[in-house]
Every structure is written in C-alpha cells, then in structure tokens.
Amino acid sequence: MKVSANGASIHYAVDGHGPWLTLAHPLGADLSVWDDLLPDLTAHFRVLRYDSRGHGQSEITRGPYSIAQLAADATALLSSLEIAHTHFVGISMGGAVAQQVALDAPERIASLTLIDTTAGYDNADAKVFLSRAATAREHGMKELAKGTLERWLGERFRKRHPETAERIRALVARADPEGFAAACEALASFDVRTRLSEIEAPTLVLVGENDPSTPPAVAQGIASGIAGARLEIVPDAAHLSIVEQKQFVTNALATFLLGAASNV
C-alpha cells in the first residue's frame, strides 16, 4: 500500500492487531528486513512497517535528504493512517529517524526502541558516508553491498547461515543508488547528541556486542543521554542484530514493549 506523505509516495504494510508499533529500517534496506520478527510482534501489536523515502517501493525524490525530512515523512505517514500514538522502533538509520520523531513530535511516541544506531556522527564518520554516496552514484550498489554485509553480519553467522547472508546482501545490492546516496548525506549531517535529554519517552537501547558501525560505547552514550533509558547488549551480534540474534532481540522488545504498553 502507498500514501502521499510529506511530498513523497511512501510504501507501507500493516500486520497484526493491538497497540500500534512502527518499525523503521536501516540505510540501504526496506521493510522486509523486519520479516523474521513479524510473527512474534504481530501476536501483540498492530505493526506498521514502511520503506523510507528513496528505498524499496517508496518514491525516490531528489536529494540530499535530511534525517529531519525522513522523520517528517514518518510523522506524515502516521497522520495519513490516523495513528495518533505509536511505539516506535528504529535500527541504524531508522534509529536516527526514531530519535528525530521523538524530538519533533513527542506526542506521537508511546515508547522508543533504538537498535544499533547513533545520535550523531563525528567528522571522520560523516566523510565515510559522503564517500559511500559518491560510490553509489558513480558505481552503483554492488561494491557497497559486500562491505555492508561484512559490517552488518558477523563472519561466523555468515558462514553458518549463507542463505540469510545472501538475502541481506541482495537486499542492499538492489537498493536504488540515488536514494541510498541521498540518505547517506542525511546521516552525514545528523547530530542530536546535545538534545537527547529532551526525549521523555520510555526508551530501550539495543546494540550488538560486536557492532563495528555503532559500537556499544555509542549506545551507552545514547542511553546515558536519555533519562531512564535502558541499555541491553545483544551477544554475539554485529550491526544487524535483529537478524543475527532474532530471538534475543524479539524477547527484549516484547518485554520492554509490553511493559510500556501497560503504562500507556
């Protein structure tokens, strides 16, 4: 299904019944990255997944994007679907979007779950994202997909689960280069580190033990900045912990979300 939201056509899917739960995906992915978690989550929640602007089946508008723009997309999508209040879960880029939504439209957020993400990048990391944007535009996604897979899934997991690894590699490889590049530019300029104390929603921060992109120290910084936030380390996982340790993440989410839902 698609709706017009904040000047772009946004593709989304809704499954399950119960309180609303919105899921935001990483850079270079689409809503299918959540597929493995869906059966457990839809047992308790009405789950909204969507493709971010420039990704999946959503519209690829001219870049560069900003995280504030992507957050406004998410809020407009919620308005189009008449969702006044939702639990919001974001991983990586989706986690950046989740933080921005919590800052810009706090009345929408019942709870916040931030997975393998950051509140802002230093100059060196920002330059990496700008370099990836240039590579995507000049050479396409094939070269970037291999490096992404190595950051997202640990070597042992890739060897033990080659079909899953290939599914994730193919997901990134088929991403639109311009949409990917424009989102890279959004991440390069994202920084809400000085505003974390403004977030008042109940917050869970999850991070892979071996995440090379947004390591546990980064997650600790987020958790320390948000009053009452809880940090959990996902064992034996890299950046895409929702795939590498699906059951651990699902259990942590269920425990947190059901507790938060009971207080809404």
Which is it for strands 8-16 and 230-234: parallel, antiparallel or unpaired? unpaired
The pair of structure tokens assigned to 116 is 């393998």
Assigned domain for 109 exists: yes
User: CATH number, domain at 215?
Assistant: 3.40.50.1820
Assigned domain for 242 exists: yes
Assigned domain for 92 exists: yes
Number of compact structural domains in the chain: 1
The H or E element spanning position 79 is helix 67-80
Q: For residues 175 and 141, is the Cβ–Cβ distance under 8 A? A: yes
Q: For residues 245 and 153, is the Cβ–Cβ distance under 8 A? A: no
Residues 63-98 have pLDDT tens digits of 999 999 999 999 999 999 999 999 999 999 999 999
129: nearest Cα among 203, 191, 38? 191
Assigned domain for 146 exists: no
Residue 14 identity: V
Residues 89-142 have pLDDT tens digits of 999 999 999 999 999 999 999 999 999 999 999 999 999 999 999 999 999 999
Assigned domain for 208 exists: yes
Mean pLDDT throughout 200-221? 98
Q: For residues 213 and 151, is the Cβ–Cβ distance under 8 A? A: yes
Residues 149-190 have pLDDT tens digits of 999 999 999 999 999 999 999 999 999 999 999 999 999 999
Assigned domain for 153 exists: no
Assigned domain for 136 exists: no
Domain limits for position 250: 2-122+190-261
pTM of the model: 0.97
Characterize 19-35 residue by residue with b for buried, 16 or more Cβ atoms within 10 angstroms of its Cβ, and e for exposed: bbbbbbbbbbbbbebbe
Assigned domain for 76 exists: yes
